[in-house]
A and B are shown apart, each in its own frame.
Chain A
Amino acid sequence: MSNIFEESKTRAFIKNEGVDYNTTVTTQELPLEDFAENLQIDVISLNDEDITFDVKGIDPAFANALRRIFISEIPTMAIEKVNMWQNTSVIPDEVLAHRMGLVPIKVDPRLFEVKGKNEDHNENNCVQFNLHIKCTRKNTPEAQNRENDILPENDEALFNHASVYTSDMKWVPIGTQEEKFKNTPIRPVYEDILLSKMRPGQEIEMELMCEKGVGKTHAKWSPVSTAYYRLLPDIALKEEISGEEAQELKSKCPMNVFDIEDTGKLFVKNSRVCTTCRECIRDEKFVDKIKLAKVKNHFEFTVESVGMYKPEEIVTEGIKILKEKVKCWKNTMKGMEEDEE
């Protein structure tokens, strides 16, 4: 019994219904050296779009603060003001303007400032794009035959610019921006986002002003599509399972957590992929044979970038923002004390 008690300090047990989670607040502050020693970070996978990494040895509060910052407090550039000179397409002005706001822009936001309330757009707080496009009829016999206009199979073959893509957005450098971004021209992250469909005679002309902001204000500024963490699963067999039961259990798990040895014994092959679906402990007879648990201080983060930052940059920026936040408050307190004196 005491064994289970000891274990419940580090593990949360998954039951058929719900989870046994004993909050264990460490009431002692670890010395920083110990904190550094206990802390273990491992990158599991990393590519241009997402990163998965393990963090072991931090509090849930810290993990959650980081996740919240990744989603809503890392600044990016997004279209905020739209001057619409012409829009005869079927999409209403305000819907199109909102749609433009959601287009991710590939530019390093760290090189820009947040635009002040009374400030004008300038080279340090704004990126401008122009989009001017008109749909026309092509000069082919099929295109000229108006009967083909009704539900054409391939409208691109009949009309010029039947579809408006993000690649039609033209970056307009302001001031010294042309020189500054010579090697990394500013553009939408993806060139093939469909913005609108048009028919001959329709036209869109607008100026798009990008400003710096954070996801707290509007999700268009969020640098991640998803950022989440979960606790690492810890699965073990409490007793030996072999023969038919082993086969049954192996086929039960949809994630193939279990496998069978040559001797016919069941073993846990890969506990990380477990999704906590509880399929393996649904049958009464297995409830006491399997230990389904989560490691309480082992977080597996997954951060999926939209494309403005590299995924690993989002993590470092996030931690930096938390640090700056704390530093800023510390300075505010200093200021308060000086006032009092």
Chain B
Amino acid sequence: MSDSENEQIENQDEPMIEEENSVDNEEIVDAKEEEEVDIQPLTIDNIEDDNKNATFTFYDEEHTLGNVLRNTLIKNKNVDFCGYTVPHPSEPYMKLRVQSNKKDAKVVLKHGFKRISKECDIITEKFLESVAKFKQTQMED
């Protein structure tokens, strides 16, 4: 009788342990998912001097954006220094340093974004115009 009782207890124990395990597993999976969701697209590493100087880290960006952005910001009167770097080619980060003499670095950066997007509009417009023109001259020939 006692044997069978023991067995029963054991039998009860086993599924309990399994359940515990499965709970653990779920937690691990959850943690992993959270980690992935938690990636910050844009972080400010360093901000000093009344927010005028800052280093931004862009996730999943490279020279494509970095170089245009630097080029645009450097022309801004309010910017003393601007530079960008991709610290390691196999890490998906791009860092941008902005040092302004008058304004908040974030304002300067936003101004840069606006400027690029306006330039894009102008280029698209002109490009479509010239394509239309080319097609027309070809039709006439």
Contacts and interface: CB of A to CB of B under 8 A. Distances in A.
Interface of A: 25-29, 32, 35-36, 39-43, 46, 53, 55, 58-59, 61-62, 64-65, 68-69, 73, 312, 315-316, 319-320, 322-323, 325-327, 329-330, 332-333, 336-337
Interface in B58-80: 58, 62-65, 67-68, 70-72, 74-77
Interface of A, secondary structure class, is helix
A323 B124 CA distance: 10
Interface in B17-49: 41-42, 44
A140 to B, nearest CB: 50
Q: Which of B62, B116, B120, B130 has the most CB of A within 10 A?
A: B120
A61 B67 contact: yes
Contacts, number: 112
Contacts of B129: 41
A36 B122 contact: yes
Interface of B: 41-42, 44, 58, 62-65, 67-68, 70-72, 74-77, 106, 109-110, 113-124, 126-131, 133-135, 138
Nearest to B114: A330
Contacts of A55: 123
Given A73-B64, A323-B121, A330-B114, A315 B127 contact: yes
Nearest to A216: B62
A333 B106 contact: yes
Q: Which of B64, B121, B124 has the most CB of A within 10 A?
A: B64
Nearest to A46: B134
Contacts of A59: 68, 71
